[in-house]
Amino acid sequence: EPEVTQTPSHQVTQMGQEVILHCVPISNHLYFYWYRQILGQKVEFLVSFYNNEISEKSEIFDDQFSVERPDGSNFTLKIRSTKLEDSAMYFCASSQGVAEAFFGQGTRLTVV
Amino acid sequence: AQSVTQPDIHITVSEGASLELRCNYSYGATPYLFWYVQSPGQGLQLLLKYFSGDTLVQGIKGFEAEFKRSQSSFNLRKPSVHWSDAAEYFCAVGKAGNMLTFGGGTRLMVKP
């Protein structure tokens, strides 16, 4: 069964450093998403991406965040200058549009 | 604005007993509704979805859910719980191709 793949599974970074989280969505999907889950809290929407542009974003997704689909198969989330409060599990998801979203296993980001 | 409430943060049931997890939503139009399950350290796996039609939907692992528009609810049920069902369960609402809004989750524990 096709699946969404995220790498790395765990990333530790120093506060103020840039970090890039990688995702390979399911190949025939058209919509791509990033969500995050701070430990013990609910899953929160960050951004959706369709047709090579951001289609929707939350207030969490400020200027420190950016997304890119660099080569037609990967979908990345960049955090420019990480803060302690960025520590969370980050989930990538993809969907065909009129269908459910499939989630990856997540990348646990720890900012120290 | 859309929102999802899962009133029960923790539920403990005995193995073999029946289960019902509650979910109430607020959404301005006909919602798409989802239940996801998250095992410890894992990603989000889709259990079932409701888009339209029959209000009782069947999912994987023996789960079902019933959409009740009059009550704005989408409760998840299983007639006989197995120890492997212990996990966190998330209800979500949204439109396909758009952001999902998740509830706070219900952590299910199963007693032997």
pLDDT tens-digit readout, A30-39:
999 999 999 9
pLDDT in single tens digits along all 112 residues of chain B: 789 999 999 999 999 999 999 999 998 777 899 999 998 878 899 999 998 889 999 999 999 999 999 999 999 999 999 999 999 999 999 876 678 999 999 999 999 9
Taking CA atoms, what residue in A is nearest to B34?
Answer: A100
Nearest to A42 among B42, B45, B102 (CB): B102
pLDDT tens-digit readout, A30-89:
999 999 999 988 999 999 999 999 999 999 999 999 999 988 789 999 999 999 999 999
Q: How many CB pairs under 8 A join A and B?
A: 58
Taking CA atoms, what residue in B is nearest to A47?
Answer: B99
Asked if A58 lies within 8 A of B99 by C-beta distance, the reply is yes
Do you find a cis peptide bond into B79, omega within 30 degrees of 0?
A: no
